[in-house]
Structure 1
Amino acid sequence: MLSGAVENGGDAHVIFVNNHVNRTANFLPSYGFSREFLQAGVVGADEIRPGDVLGLMIWENVDDGLLVGLGQSSTQLQQLQVDSQGFIFVPYAGRIRAAGNSPEQLRQLITARLETQTPDPQVSVTRVAGDGATVSIMGKAFGQGVYPIERPTRTLSAMLAKAGGVAIDPEVATITVKRGRETGKVWLSDLYFNPSYDIALRPGDVILVEEDQRSFTALGALGRQTKVPLGSEQISALEAVAMVGGLSTLSADPTGVFVLRDEPSQVASAVLGQPVSGTQRMAYVLDLTRPNGLFLSRDFMIRDDDTIYVTEAPYVRWQKILGAITGSANSARALAATTGID
């Protein structure tokens, strides 16, 4: 590892972890919503939108009105769908813009159009159904599907509750919201502890519930060698080693715990104390035998795609060499005994 360092003509920076490294290298990519998400106000529950289906009831104060048949006082116009441009058509009132208005505002518009042709018309507007104000919930939610934005479900947490919540461990659940070209992502726990992330929803939002996919790889003289999910928002090097069974008591070298990662130029420049360009290969070394070694490893944060490699103690390699030599000698003696050759 040391022979491949930049100082020896290699392409990796070998850095012994100290307090300065912990302060500068512990950069954790954070999730969150942009200003566009955070500043969006809640959708008005009574606002009519394209795709909504409306029902009209019209009363006329004459025996034989424009819309009312002979001997009747009212007529119903059901299943009037607001078109993609936001308009509906009402006989004798013409094409009227419904989108953006409340049912009461639309009632007043229709009344104003009809009262020039029939005396004192009375109009009632109701929302029958609608698909113009909906969001889609996908992924690891109990109730995937398309849900309308209603008065109780105008925020992200309320809509997730409407869908039955998440079907995975809440500690590793992430919530992604896609709105047009904008995308935001937060931890589910942030919705509980940071109310500003409980954003107002908009028609057409796509909500994706996922299990955190971040992981690190453990290699070398450890309890097991495998790829390990990080499991929570922050994991230290000490915790990561413990997650794979700790150091092997028979073979690990506690002076050679390496954390290998590709570091972005901004962080690498801060760690090295000099400007560098482009992503840098970094090998951070943790020496657990130093007086503060355990404290430093407790404070060193593991990131996605890190590799933790623990070297073997020198005496282990020596035992392997001796084992190979003595094994060869024993094999030779066994062969001689079998063939009778001295």
Structure 2
Amino acid sequence: MKSVGFRLAKGVALAAALAVVASCGLPRSGPTKNEIFAGSVMRDGDAFVLLVDDRVNLVASVTPALGFSAGFRNASELGSDTIRAGDVLGLTIWENVRDPLLVPAGQNATVLEEVQVDGSGFIFVPYAGRIRVAGNTPEAIRRIITTKLEEQTPDPQVQVRRLAGDGSTVSVVGAVGAQGVYAIERPTRTLAAMLARAGGVTVQPEIAQVTVVRGSHSDSIWFEDLYDHPGHDIALRAGDRIFVEQDTRSFTALGATGSQSRVAFESQTISAIEAIAQVGGLNTNLADPTGVFVFRNEPEDIAKQLLGRNDITGTQRVVYVLDLTEPNGMFMARDFAIRDSDTVYVTEAPFSQFNKTISAVFGTLGSVNTAASLGQ
């Protein structure tokens, strides 16, 4: 009778354990594949779920490009002797006439010292008037003044020299060897040369971004593009502000991966395969290789191309599905570009939930058996 009662107790315990597991559920790292599909707009959700293929890759893998606009690229190199507002000039004028306009009696030349360039870039020269000098070289200014004075006195001779002033300067800050204000000199007229003058970048070149602010305009470029594409090595202008920083983009990895974390980009572009590798790959004890998902908010223009619809407006929630078990699944994942703020999620395989159920049930039964043995 005891044996029958013991078997009956085990049966009751098994049924009770299954009931508890079924009612309470088991711990897991996130939603199942079926639950994600249930969130599709085709069912009860508000996200578009798309299986990644060649067409989807072509549209969705577009990454934001960095580069300088035509206004930056078309600027010519600035000479180191260019005059700017705030500089102080010295003028010497010779007149070969009996009654000169400017030269004192008994002398052959007059010297105008400390003629300061005003904030608008002008100076005043007697009998020549107000002359714009900012942006010109001393030689160009000499010709302008000579032409003006020729209207008043024959064959004047003019000499122009800069007495004081910093000339044209730029500021370089951020992840460089030596932050500071640097003069635009003959060896440092371009962006690459100026960065070298400032000690180069102090972050990995692959993820270094360079931003140039000129007046109210700013553009950014990858540091490596300065050397891969010489056209981006722009000429500098007085007052330019150069800022170097490390790439701030990142993605989040969740689910059945080697680790779950927020991950910074380690290169200009990262594929889905590389993103998974960065977090330790798929967890071989848990991961379902048919359920790799990328969650992203797509802008309206890309969403329209992906869905082939013109009736949607604004940013759309899109879930991309990668099945690594398909014949070309690995290639699709290799070609799929991860973008800033993406969430890469790997679902758990069905058998992992089964194993958890078995472990939970038999762990519970072990406790029941122990209790029953003590009660005998």
Q: How does the TM-score come out when normalised to structure 2? A: 0.78
1:174 equivalent to 2:209? Answer yes
Quote the offset at 1:174 in angstroms: 0.7
d(CA) in 2 for partners of 1:96, 1:225:
67
Alignment map for 1:257-336 (pairs within 5 Å): 257-275=292-310, 276-334=312-370
With over 3 angstroms needed to count, the CA separation of the structure-2 counterparts of 1:2 and 1:108, relative to structure 1, is: closer
Q: Quote the RMSD (CA, aligned, Å).
A: 3.1
Match for 2:358: what amino acid? L
With over 3 angstroms needed to count, the CA separation of the structure-2 counterparts of 1:43 and 1:115, relative to structure 1, is: same
With over 3 angstroms needed to count, the CA separation of the structure-2 counterparts of 1:142 and 1:128, relative to structure 1, is: farther
Alignment map for 1:214-233 (pairs within 5 Å): 214-233=249-268
With over 3 angstroms needed to count, the CA separation of the structure-2 counterparts of 1:135 and 1:325, relative to structure 1, is: same
What secondary structure does 2:375 align onto?
A: coil
d(CA) in 1 for partners of 2:170, 2:321:
48
Paired residues in the alignment total 337
With over 3 angstroms needed to count, the CA separation of the structure-2 counterparts of 1:333 and 1:109, relative to structure 1, is: same
1:20 equivalent to 2:55? Answer yes
Deviation string, structure 1 residues 202-244 (Cα, Å, up to 9, x no partner): 2222111111111111111111111111211111111111111
Match for 2:245: what amino acid? E
d(CA) in 2 for partners of 1:309, 1:5:
16
Q: Is the 8 A contact 1:220 1:310 kept in 2?
A: yes
* 2:41 match: 6
Quote the offset at 1:152 in angstroms: 2.5
Match for 1:325: what amino acid? V
Identity %: 56
d(CA) in 1 for partners of 2:59, 2:132:
58
Deviation string, structure 1 residues 164-208 (Cα, Å, up to 9, x no partner): 211111111111111222221111111111122112222222111
d(CA) in 2 for partners of 1:113, 1:296:
71
d(CA) in 2 for partners of 1:264, 1:20:
17
1:213 equivalent to 2:248? Answer yes
d(CA) in 1 for partners of 2:145, 2:71:
35
With over 3 angstroms needed to count, the CA separation of the structure-2 counterparts of 1:107 and 1:310, relative to structure 1, is: same
- Select between 310-319 and 194-203 the one with higher mean Cα deviation: 194-203
Deviation string, structure 1 residues 259-284 (Cα, Å, up to 9, x no partner): 11111122122222222321111111
What secondary structure does 1:325 align onto?
A: helix
Quote the offset at 1:31 in angstroms: 1.0
**Structure having the higher Rg:** 2
d(CA) in 1 for partners of 2:180, 2:95:
43
Quote the offset at 1:33 in angstroms: 1.6
d(CA) in 1 for partners of 2:340, 2:320:
15
What secondary structure does 1:7 align onto?
A: coil
Quote the offset at 1:333 in angstroms: 4.1
Structure 2 counterpart of 1:154, from 175, 189, 210 = 189
Structure 1 counterpart of 2:198, from 158, 163, 169 = 163
With over 3 angstroms needed to count, the CA separation of the structure-2 counterparts of 1:89 and 1:234, relative to structure 1, is: same
Between 1 and 2, higher relative CO (CA 8 Å, sep ≥ 6) is seen in: 2
Deviation string, structure 1 residues 65-103 (Cα, Å, up to 9, x no partner): 988999x99887665432212234678988654324321
* 1:193 match: 228
Alignment map for 1:89-108 (pairs within 5 Å): 97-107=132-142
Quote the offset at 1:292 in angstroms: 0.9
d(CA) in 2 for partners of 1:139, 1:247:
37
Structure 2 counterpart of 1:126, from 141, 151, 161 = 161
* 1:30 match: 65
With over 3 angstroms needed to count, the CA separation of the structure-2 counterparts of 1:295 and 1:115, relative to structure 1, is: closer
Q: Is the 8 A contact 1:27 1:267 kept in 2?
A: no
With over 3 angstroms needed to count, the CA separation of the structure-2 counterparts of 1:294 and 1:116, relative to structure 1, is: closer
Q: Is the 8 A contact 1:60 1:68 kept in 2?
A: no
Structure 2 counterpart of 1:253, from 288, 296, 310 = 288
What secondary structure does 1:258 align onto?
A: strand
d(CA) in 1 for partners of 2:131, 2:340:
55
d(CA) in 2 for partners of 1:68, 1:225:
85
Q: Is the 8 A contact 1:135 1:205 kept in 2?
A: yes
- Runs (5+) with no aligned partner, structure 1: none
Q: Is the 8 A contact 2:82 2:136 kept in 1?
A: yes
d(CA) in 1 for partners of 2:215, 2:152:
44
Match for 1:127: what amino acid? R
With over 3 angstroms needed to count, the CA separation of the structure-2 counterparts of 1:41 and 1:81, relative to structure 1, is: same
